[in-house]
A and B are shown apart, each in its own frame.
Chain A
Amino acid sequence: MTVTAETGEGPRTRNGARHDESGTGRRVWHPGWVDVCAYDALLPERGAVALVSGVQVALFRMYDGHVHAISNRDPFSGAYVLSRGIVGTRGERPIVASPMHKQAFDLLSGECGDDPAVRVDVFDVRVRAGRVEVYIPRGELAGSGEISEPVTEPGANVGTAPGADVGTEPA
């Protein structure tokens, strides 16, 4: 298995979506399916992240072969890390646990199981001819554009996860 071996010279995507710079410097996207990577580039039950024209989309290939796509931004810490969480199930629902402080996000709805007021964006995703495509909806994706709900109290979750190695080796 090889991950897309594109030689990168600056941010680029292998997608067919067109974009133009609006006068404001904001990027405006035409809606459509964007080709992201080969299905085989995704490891079973692990996440990967794709840079889809400026948006960080976390992709998860499940045990049953399904692929889910959500925003890569962890709304609690603000770090772009959700793709690095552990995937699993809560009851019947597929989830990913944030690697930062372990809050679980439903991969179907984007809802945070530990705090229903918090949601992350969910993207439509499909596999065509062995390639993964993500649907980027119409509209302006300004800034992160990805967070749907206010971030909780700053720092509220810092260090609360038992045994979480927040720093490396507290003396």
Chain B
Amino acid sequence: MSDHDAHLDIHVDTHLADHRDDHVADPSAGTAGAGRRRRLVVVGHGMVGQRLVEAIRERDREGRWAVTVLGEEPRPAYDRVALTSYLTGTTADELSLVPDEHDGEGDDDCVVRTGDPVVAIDRSARCVTTASGVVVEYDALVLATGSAPFVPPIPGADLDGCFVYRTIDDLDAIRDRAATARTGAVVGGGLLGLEAANALRSLGLDTHVVEFAPRLMPAQVDAGGGEMLRRRIEQLGLTVHADTATERIEASGSDPHDPSGPGLRMVFSDGAAIEVGMVVFSAGIRARDELARACDLDVGERGGVVVDESCRTSDPHIWAIGECARVDGTIYGLVAPGYDMAEVVADQLLGGAAVFSGADTSTKLKLLGVDVASFGDAHATTPGSLEVVYADPVAGVYKKLVVTDDASTMLGGLLVGDASSFAALRTMVGEPLPDTPEQVLMVGPAPSGLDDAAQVCSCQNVSAGTIRSAIGDDGCCDVASVKACTKAGTVCGSCVPLIKTLLAQSGVETSKALCEHFDLSRAELFDVIRVTGQRTFTEIISSHGQGRGCDICKPAVASILASLGSGHILDGEQAALQDTNDHFLANLQRNGTYSVVPRVPGGELTPEKLIVIGEVARDFGLYMKITGGQRIDMFGARVEQLPAIWRRLVDAGFESGHAYGKALRTVKSCVGSTWCRYGVQDSTSLAIMLELRYRGLRSPHKIKAGVSGCARECAEARSKDFGIIASEQGWNLYVGGNGGFNPRHAQLFASNLDTDELVRLIDRFLMFYIRTADRLQRTSAWLEGLDDEHGDGLAYLHRVIVDDDLGICADLDAAVATHVASYTDEWAAVLEDEEKLSRFVSFVNAPDVPDPSIQFVTERDQIRPAGGTESGSLPEGVLGGVADGVPDGVAGGPGPVPVSGPTLEVVRR
């Protein structure tokens, strides 16, 4: 088990000008007598440098090494593999790999200086000098400087508007530029180029991909796969120019689509040209070996610090790891081999003899809805190897296995369009084929055959055996605990399906049973109820459960019935299933009173209606507060007052806001292009339309939404279950955000949609969520569950609700249409129904007697519950309407003034 606290006390020292003349002396100088501590200096605080620090901190229990990390970027190490998610909601803090950045006094064991690159190495004096002039001595020096994007020497490549795609700063610059550009081009159609292109698309740009080779992803894909890939990419709305060399880039007065913005013209070698607002270069990487060159260490002909299998350079005091290292003639552009190198060096520094023995270069493209994966010898370069190909142009699927000439051993393969078997297949490279190649290709391998040595997670180099022992010995019982315990699945995530399979095989059953009364999960129960047409709890529990239910399964069944459109939620037996909020169609508060929230669609409210709300609150003596969802909440209503309050509201044209229900709450919006000088679309009208469409839709948990009229995002749409942000070309849809205890940003799901496309996607997203989520599971947690189950939850969602892989889209559409057509206001229906109204009484034997235990005091001119909001408990002894137990801290003193008991004085006009 790894010790995650090991790196908690890394001290991060951001470079400040006044360090200019520092001379970092021997950090062990003060520890006289304790034996001299050796000084490790790491140049570069990227993913691999950080991994080395973690490995040393974890294993160097005696504190033999004092570590100094010198980084060029202004922030400590972050997850570069997940860099693109920075554009779709993940924050820099969330990407950080250094969990706790405390300032204050650093410890002697590890100092990180950011924003101060090393500029020279003095091998004879064994010290390095940084740009700010700091000199640091070392006993061991590790270069972990990574690589820089290769910018081809094209005239104009340095013009304003040309970018690379490597760091958070790069992405900030790209985002700024994209805000004014309409079109963009990415030079390079490899793995990273396509990722960058997809990012530009997500920023709302019309995006071109320019690739010199005859096909996309030339390093991974063969001609057949390339064609399939091109189609998939073009379906995403990207324009592909393969077999195209860029000759020069010129400043053209303007982006033709946006004459106000600056523009660039890309001229190709065949004379053709395109006009774009920005260009991103992603045409490969070059190892950052400049420090090594300057101090005469061996470097490769085509770059890279040459190291031996122990990762040592030609100077025995200097190592190189990660993307800057050339080991055995190869530079690895992936993080997993870099992590292995870091482990190797850590081991050697602590007296071990580990060596680096090559690495798995399997890769998977991280594009929404486009599966591409290659593993092993995907290009069939092994002499005599055979290729077995399966292609289905209609479904857009292309799969290839490379096997030895006798078809006995798997050598590698390529998957385009459907990479679901990737995790399992790549563990079989070099292994005997368990079946005929065709069978393996079509059906995928059975992971039961995985032997303990098979590598399940190549990013973190975790074997099946390690995961099995985490499950068997350390008691890991779900993906999350296996991740925490072994680190498997924490980088690219593509091995998570395999981890799940291993969990299932180890007999770990994560019970999905709803509660002691139902063995089914909520999703299963939903299907059962939908398919059987059963509509009463008695029928449902007697045929699919046991006992008489509880506060878990009853509201869950009530919610399912409501989602399936089964009449009023207080009809017949359904009434007994509702929790108190739904039962009284209001929100229970701490003192037993309720709050009332009328719907204010999109937050748009006329003065007349606002006055009605004010009058109602005044006449019933309610406390008023504005909610975060752009509406107004009135507190302190007693059960028997609710019908009278709602009579007034309904008469004035209000309807239930469902603030009490697990249902759509609000669609928050900004004023958008109607009023705002920056707005590009009418966000308010869209929000009102959506709120009216989905009002009353019951769901596993509350649903919140937002619409912003431009990228400035004033409506905070990305903190919602679904959020829409206007772009010049239409709407960008984000899904799976929430605020609350564990805030998450919604992730971009689709861009530049017209309103019909947008509504169709939201319809399907909501209905699919309603049908398959667990009880009380917000959309974010549901999507994470999809991640765990299908590798990439968003891609899976895309396959289900865009590509219709499950063939359920028509059904989802119909379900939403039924909801929209059958919506009626719950409160208006109650007011028309004597029987339902008769439930709104204080006491069954004294229907109009106000509950004497409800007491208020005034504070800032409004009521609040007596008894102190702090105590969590109402005073005892206030039963008979006599406030003989005026709560402590209320009687006398300067505190709030008690208001008389239940018969609160009401001001009437």
Bound pair: A and B? yes
A contact set with B: CB distance below 8 Å? 1-8, 10-14, 25, 27, 36-37, 41-46, 48-52, 54-56, 59, 62-63, 73, 76-81, 84-91, 95, 97, 99-100, 102, 104, 142-144, 147, 151, 154-158, 162-163, 165-171
By the criterion CB–CB under 8 Å, are B597 and A169 in contact?
A: yes
Judge if B370 is at the interface, Cβ distance under 8 Å: no
Q: Can you report 10 residue pairs joining A to B where beta carbons are below 8 Å apart?
A: A3-B839, A4-B844, A49-B842, A78-B876, A80-B853, A80-B854, A87-B576, A88-B549, A168-B627, A169-B597
**Most A C-beta atoms less than 10 A away, residue of B665, B844, B871, B877:** B844
Judge if B628 is at the interface, Cβ distance under 8 Å: yes
Given A12-B846, A143-B885, decide whether A79 and B633 contact each other with a Cβ distance below 8 A: no
Chain B, residues 811-854, CB within 8 Å of chain A (1/0): the string is 00000000000000000000000010011011111111101111
Given A63-B548, A78-B873, A154-B870, decide whether A45 and B576 contact each other with a Cβ distance below 8 A: yes
By the criterion CB–CB under 8 Å, are A88 and B550 in contact?
A: yes
B contact set with A: CB distance below 8 Å? 516-517, 547-551, 553-555, 573, 575-577, 579-581, 583-584, 587-592, 595, 597, 627-629, 631, 633, 659-660, 662, 665-666, 701-702, 739-740, 776, 835, 838-839, 841-849, 851-854, 867, 870-877, 879-882, 884-885
**Measured between alpha carbons, how far is A156 from B592 in the docked complex, in Å?**
18
The interface residues of chain A lying within 8 Å CB-to-CB of B875 are 78
17 further A-B contacts with Cβ under 8 Å, apart from A41-B844, A167-B587, are A7-B848, A11-B881, A43-B839, A50-B845, A50-B846, A54-B879, A76-B873, A77-B874, A84-B580, A89-B517, A97-B550, A144-B877, A147-B876, A154-B870, A163-B701, A166-B590, A169-B633
Interface residue from B665, B844, B870 paired with A50 (Cβ < 8 Å): B844
By the criterion CB–CB under 8 Å, are A155 and B871 in contact?
A: yes
The interface residues of chain B lying within 8 Å CB-to-CB of A80 are 592, 851, 853-854, 874
By the criterion CB–CB under 8 Å, are A79 and B576 in contact?
A: no
Minimum Cβ distance to chain B for residue A32 (Å): 16
By the criterion CB–CB under 8 Å, are A99 and B588 in contact?
A: yes
Given A78-B867, A142-B877, decide whether A85 and B575 contact each other with a Cβ distance below 8 A: no
Interface residue from A41, A87, A100 paired with B590 (Cβ < 8 Å): A100
Interface residue from A8, A165, A170 paired with B849 (Cβ < 8 Å): A8
Minimum Cβ distance to chain B for residue A137 (Å): 16
User: Which residue of chain A has its CB nearest to the CB of B584?
Assistant: A84
The interface residues of chain A lying within 8 Å CB-to-CB of B592 are 79-81
The interface residues of chain B lying within 8 Å CB-to-CB of A51 are 842-843, 845-846, 849
By the criterion CB–CB under 8 Å, are B516 and A56 in contact?
A: no
Minimum Cβ distance to chain B for residue A42 (Å): 7
User: Which residue of chain A has its CB nearest to the CB of B776?
Assistant: A163
The interface residues of chain A lying within 8 Å CB-to-CB of B589 are 167
By the criterion CB–CB under 8 Å, are B838 and A84 in contact?
A: no
Dominant SS at the B interface? Answer: loop
By the criterion CB–CB under 8 Å, are A171 and B853 in contact?
A: no
Given A6-B846, A8-B847, A158-B872, decide whether A25 and B580 contact each other with a Cβ distance below 8 A: no
Given A8-B848, A154-B872, A169-B633, decide whether A100 and B588 contact each other with a Cβ distance below 8 A: yes
The interface residues of chain B lying within 8 Å CB-to-CB of A102 are 551
By the criterion CB–CB under 8 Å, are B879 and A77 in contact?
A: no
**Measured between alpha carbons, how far is A5 from B848 in the docked complex, in Å?**
9
**Measured between alpha carbons, how far is A54 from B846 in the docked complex, in Å?**
11
Minimum Cβ distance to chain B for residue A130 (Å): 14
User: Which residue of chain A has its CB nearest to the CB of B549?
Assistant: A88
Interface residue from B551, B575, B581, B591 paired with A79 (Cβ < 8 Å): B591
Minimum Cβ distance to chain A for residue B206 (Å): 37
**Measured between alpha carbons, how far is A124 from B542 in the docked complex, in Å?**
30
**Measured between alpha carbons, how far is A38 from B884 in the docked complex, in Å?**
32
Minimum Cβ distance to chain A for residue B551 (Å): 4
**Measured between alpha carbons, how far is A151 from B874 in the docked complex, in Å?**
10
By the criterion CB–CB under 8 Å, are B629 and A171 in contact?
A: yes
**Measured between alpha carbons, how far is A37 from B365 in the docked complex, in Å?**
69
Minimum Cβ distance to chain B for residue A65 (Å): 12
Minimum Cβ distance to chain B for residue A140 (Å): 12
The interface residues of chain A lying within 8 Å CB-to-CB of B583 are 46, 84
User: Which residue of chain A has its CB nearest to the CB of B538?
Assistant: A63
**Most A C-beta atoms less than 10 A away, residue of B702, B854, B879, B882:** B879
By the criterion CB–CB under 8 Å, are A4 and B845 in contact?
A: yes
**Measured between alpha carbons, how far is A45 from B558 in the docked complex, in Å?**
14
The interface residues of chain B lying within 8 Å CB-to-CB of A37 are 844-845
User: Which residue of chain B has its CB nearest to the CB of A10?
Assistant: B849
Minimum Cβ distance to chain A for residue B316 (Å): 58
**Measured between alpha carbons, how far is A79 from B553 in the docked complex, in Å?**
25
